[in-house]
Amino acid sequence: MRLFGFGAISVILVLHLKAIGYSESLIGQLLALTMAGDAVVTLWVTLRADRFGRARMLRLGAALMMLAGAILAVTNEVRWLAPVMFFGAISLNGGDTGPFLAIEQAALTHSLQPQQRTSAIAWYILSGSLASAVGSLAAGVGSYRAVFAAYAMCGAVLWILATRLSPAIEAQPAEQSIAPRFGLHRSRSVVLRLSALFALDTFGSGLAVQSFLAYWLHRRFGIGTAAIGTILFGMNGLAAFSALAASRLAARVGLINTMVWTHIPANILLMALPFVPSLPGAVAILLLRGCLSQMDVPARQSYLMAVVDPDERSAAGGITGLAKSIAGALSPPVTGALFAGAWLSAPFAAAGALKIVYDLLLWRGFRALKPPEEC
């Protein structure tokens, strides 16, 4: 339910803000505010989830979705939109955002054997990615405000579902160590280094978030929301199934190699996108990139869960998520300013280049640190 809503809202958010008269620079600032709020909420929630209850924190996320969707559906006033975009658990890429990914993956993996972890995360990501793809497609069938209302309804259904989660998802008393209260212990250095690299990757991704990609397709080729939603549905659908391929590849070549050597070709395609002269060519690049761009995600999440102690997992997910949120908050104003100055190609070229730098630094710094199943 959450990823369906995220997929839908990511397609129409920038288009809606532009339609109600906001400038591209102001839109970039609002998107930065969204990412900054994501950082604040991520830090507050993840460092408390194991003590206060994972299901309770997931219900909090659902309530934030309801609030954001309801306000976006009824007002154009920036004084109302700014705070709701700060606190509202809004995804700009159609993917998971906020602290809820970290909480769910900690709940999912704490009772699994190492050999099961990557596959379980891959199936988890597949279900969410498929829902996001369907949400992207659904965004083209109604008005922008109707999509925001549907987003609020997704939050309501999600809240109900979260009340029915098994108590087995909660951290056991023996697991409620110092890590969720005060951060990290044994794995502090590893998590901080990974956080810095993930921040670099997210800053690059933030230059070309799906909301801006949808707007770029509209400006470059003059296509409407329905066509954009269909293109993104195809791209996200292919990305969803690539998660399963990633788990099999990781079993053969290792998690770090899977993360790096599938990500680099995807980023080369991103750099090439703005230089394609026709819509069919751009669609082909987006679909091909969809086959590769998310293969690193299950490997990355599995690797993070593997190289920290079990009682550090929620905190590790929260700290890395915080770093990504802060970095992501810096990117949208840059893209907004570049778009306002008619530099439509620059964000995509810069995003791809920065993400390749991340890949190479990750491979250099962590190829020797193996998860348990690869030792």
Give me the mean pLDDT over the 298-323 stretch: 84
Q: Burial level of 223, CB count in 10 A (0-12/13-18/19+)?
A: middle
**Considering the entire predicted model, what is its pTM?**
0.76
Domains by residue range for the chain, with CATH: 2-374 (1.20.1250.20)
327-364 pLDDT, tens digit each:
887 888 898 888 888 888 899 999 999 999 999 999 99
247-268 pLDDT, tens digit each:
889 989 999 999 999 999 999 9
180-228 pLDDT, tens digit each:
444 567 888 999 999 999 999 999 998 988 888 988 999 899 998 889 9
Q: Burial level of 268, CB count in 10 A (0-12/13-18/19+)?
A: middle
Cβ atoms of 86 and 97 within 8 Å: the answer is: no
Rounded CA separation 371/300 (Å)? 11
What are 282's two structure tokens? 């751009």
Cβ atoms of 176 and 48 within 8 Å: the answer is: no
Rounded CA separation 97/204 (Å)? 16
- Secondary structure, 3-state, 157-220: HHHHHHCCCCHHHCCCHHHCCHHHHHCCCCCHHHHHHHHHHHHHHHHHHHCCCHHHHHHHHHHH
